[in-house]
Amino acid sequence: MTLVGPRDGLQVAQELLESKGWAVEDAMTLQQALGQWGAELETGAYSVPIWRPSEFLEEVLDICLENMDLGSEAAYTTAVDLGCGSGRDLVYLAQRLPSHWKVYGVDNHGNALIRSEALAQRAGVQVHTLNCDLRKPGSMQEFYGCIALVHGARFLDRGLLLEVRDHLLADGGIFIWSTFMEGEENLAPPFKPSRRLLPGELRQTFQSAGYTILWDEEGEL
């Protein structure tokens, strides 16, 4: 990790991150960063996005949509990004899914939802946001059985996974999830076991309920 920021805050930020297990390889002021990377900068009228969705979502979305089979439930064209944060995956879904789909971002942090809406506006897509504590059982009850695609990243609540599996998804719907997993050494947050999946746990949770597994992968961030 490389930190870029005001000189008086760099040391504090570095100490805080390192105390939580992050490895900070370098820290520099904005002026130093521009001096180091300035030759790589381009100017002009054309602008490119400065954000990317999660790599896993990019990797699997096409194959998931190709295998989606809602049958007689084809009227269900709603997707939700659970724990959407500032909206990068939410906006990506809105960009990639057909325009008649409704895409919801759900989070319990109001400021994050405001950022999600702003990102969607800049990207020229429409999203809907819902301020909701997903750790409360039944918090998504109004959507039971009518969600065609559920996505989540870097977020884990086992009760929520069961709610998605048993109630939220429409028949033939798609579930895409990527989050942290227990390893031999947990060198970076989250450190709590409740926030980390066991090896094979997610596959077993859905396979045991009759779901077809299209993609199951363990990797490193």
d(CA 211, CA 19): 41
Average pLDDT over residues 176-204: 78
The pLDDT, as a whole number, for residue 158 is 95
- Indicate the DSSP class of residue 26: E
- Residues 128 and 83 both lie in one domain: yes
- Residues 34 and 60 both lie in one domain: no
Asked, for residue 220, whether it belongs to a domain, the answer is no
Residue 86's SS3 state is: coil
- Residues 73 and 26 both lie in one domain: no
* CB-CB contact of 146 with 138 (8 Å): no
The pLDDT, as a whole number, for residue 49 is 72
- Residues 70 and 130 both lie in one domain: yes
Asked, for residue 212, whether it belongs to a domain, the answer is no
- Residue 32's domain comprises 2-40
The pLDDT, as a whole number, for residue 40 is 66
* CB-CB contact of 200 with 159 (8 Å): no
* CB-CB contact of 86 with 119 (8 Å): yes
Q: What is the mean pLDDT of the chain?
A: 87
- Residues 87 and 15 both lie in one domain: no
Give every CB contact of residue 42 below 8 A, 6+ residues apart in sequence: none
* CB-CB contact of 206 with 169 (8 Å): no
CATH number of the CATH domain containing 132: 3.40.50.150
- Residues 64 and 14 both lie in one domain: no
- Residues 69 and 13 both lie in one domain: no
pLDDT digits (tens, 9 = 90+) for 98-121: 888 999 999 999 999 999 999 999
E strand or H helix at 51:
none
d(CA 78, CA 145): 11
- Indicate the DSSP class of residue 38: G
Asked, for residue 9, whether it belongs to a domain, the answer is yes
- Residues 89 and 192 both lie in one domain: yes
- Residues 21 and 117 both lie in one domain: no
pLDDT digits (tens, 9 = 90+) for 9-48: 888 888 888 887 788 888 888 888 777 776 666 666 666 6
As for how many domains the chain has, the answer is 2
The pLDDT, as a whole number, for residue 174 is 94
Buried b (16+ CB within 10 A) or exposed e, 112-151: bbebbbebbeebebebbbbebebeeeebbeebeeebbbbb
d(CA 11, CA 19): 12
φ, ψ of residue 12 to 5 degrees: the values are -65, -45
